[in-house]
Structure 1
Amino acid sequence: MLKTYKGGCLCGNIRFTAIGMPNNPHTCSCRYCQRHSGSLTQAWVEFNAESITWDGPGGEPNLWRSSGYSSRSFCVVCGSTLGAVDDEPVVALVLGTFDSPNRKELRPKSHSYISKKPKWWCIQVDTDT
Structure 2
Amino acid sequence: MAKPKIYEGGCLCGNIRFVATGPALKPHTCSCRQCQQHSGSLTQMWVEFSQNQVEWTGPGGAPAKWRSSEWSSRAFCPVCGSTIGAIDDKPTLAIAVGTFDSPNRQELAPLSHSYVSKRPKWWGICDPRDASSAH
TM-score bracket for the superposition, by shorter chain length: over 0.9
| CA deviation vs aligned residue, 1:57-106 (integer Å, no higher than 9, x gap) | 00000000000000000000000000000000000000100000010000
Q: Percent identity?
A: 65
The aligned length equals 128
Secondary structure, counterpart of 1:84 in structure 2 = strand
TM-score for the superposition, normalised by structure 2:
0.92
Correspondence 1:38 to 2:40: yes
Q: Which residue identity lines up with residue 87 of structure 2 in the other structure?
A: V
The gaps in structure 1 that reach 5 residues or longer are: none
Q: Which residue identity lines up with residue 117 of structure 2 in the other structure?
A: S
Structure 2 matches for 1:1-40, cutoff 5 A? 1-40=3-42
Corresponding residue number in structure 2 for 1:62: 64
**Considering only aligned residues, what root-mean-square deviation do their CA atoms show, in Å?**
1.0
Corresponding residue number in structure 2 for 1:98: 100
Q: Which residue identity lines up with residue 119 of structure 1 in the other structure?
A: K
| Structure 2: distance between partners of 1:16 and 1:124 | 30
Please say if residues 109 and 126 of structure 1, whose CA atoms lie closer than 8 Å, have aligned partners that are also in contact.
no
2:79 to 77, 80, 90: 77
The gaps in structure 2 that reach 5 residues or longer are: 131-135
| Structure 1: distance between partners of 2:42 and 2:66 | 20
